[in-house]
């Protein structure tokens, strides 16, 4: 695989449980769990997307603790994974940043628990990533109750929901990230 895969965790625009447009707070374990997944599956960057500067400061403090504070000595594996983390205020800024560094084609891939007309299977997406060359793929995950419809509509590709057994599919975003990275990039 010579393609470049990036991940963005979206805190705005997302829905709350009443399907109202909100900005969610950052969850500490979202930073760690997803950074470790991103590292395991060879992603180039893990963007935490949040518009508020106060939240960005909080995230930076957490990262600092593990990067250069006591945490770096206590658990170097976390430090390595957090090297991948980058904070950006909007999805658009993330796209600019990637294209600035890696000019060319950038596919934005949305993930959602709902189905859309342009929904693509994991098998198809995996093939795309592994057979095309020198392209950029940005996987977006929504926090809260999922990414806003408008943001999803702007994506080039939408991944199908994760089906387990039966009707229940209320996975945490952390679990969804782990499963989707494994389906698309795991050693099969």
Give residues in contact with a copy of itself (CB under 8 A): 1, 17, 29, 32-33, 36-37, 39-42, 74-75, 77-78, 80-81, 162-166, 168-172, 174-179, 181-183, 185-187
Contact between 113 and 74 under an 8 Å Cβ cutoff? The reply is no
Q: Minimum Å distance from CB 21 to a copy of itself? A: 19
Q: Minimum Å distance from CB 36 to a copy of itself? A: 6
Q: Minimum Å distance from CB 169 to a copy of itself? A: 6
Pick between residue 93 and residue 126 the one whose CB is nearest to a copy of itself: 126
What count of residues does the chain have?
188
DSSP 144: T
Q: Minimum Å distance from CB 81 to a copy of itself? A: 7
Indicate if the alpha-carbon torsion angle 43, 44, 50, 53 is positive or negative: positive
Pick between residue 60 and residue 175 the one whose CB is nearest to a copy of itself: 175
Q: Minimum Å distance from CB 1 to a copy of itself? A: 8
Q: What are the Cα distances from residue 178, in Å, to 37, 41, 88, 149, 153?
A: 6, 9, 22, 23, 24
Q: State both tokens at 114.
A: 């709902």
Rg (CA), the chain: 16
Which residues have CB under 8 Å from 19's CB, separation 6+?
Answer: 145
Pick between residue 57 and residue 114 the one whose CB is nearest to a copy of itself: 114
Pick between residue 91 and residue 181 the one whose CB is nearest to a copy of itself: 181
Pick between residue 56 and residue 80 the one whose CB is nearest to a copy of itself: 80
């Amino acid at each position: 695989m010579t393609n470049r895969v990036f991940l963005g965790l979206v805190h705005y625009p997302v829905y709350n449980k009443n399907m109202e447009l909100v900005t969610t707070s950052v969850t500490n374990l979202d930073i760690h769990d997803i950074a470790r997944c991103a590292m395991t599956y060879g992603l180039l960057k893990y963007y935490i997307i949040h518009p508020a500067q106060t939240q960005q400061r909080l995230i930076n403090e957490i990262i600092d603790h593990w990067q250069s504070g006591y945490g770096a000595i206590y658990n170097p594996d976390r430090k390595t994974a957090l090297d991948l983390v980058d904070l950006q205020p909007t999805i658009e800024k993330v796209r600019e940043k990637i294209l600035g560094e890696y000019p060319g084609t950038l596919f934005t891939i949305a993930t959602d628990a709902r189905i859309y007309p342009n929904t693509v299977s994991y098998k198809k997406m995996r093939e795309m990533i592994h057979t095309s060359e020198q392209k950029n793929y940005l996987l977006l995950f929504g926090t809260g109750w999922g990414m806003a419809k408008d943001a999803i509509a702007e994506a080039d590709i939408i991944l199908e929901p994760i089906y387990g057994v039966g009707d229940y599919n209320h996975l945490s975003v952390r679990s969804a990230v782990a499963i989707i990275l494994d389906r698309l990039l795991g050693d099969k």
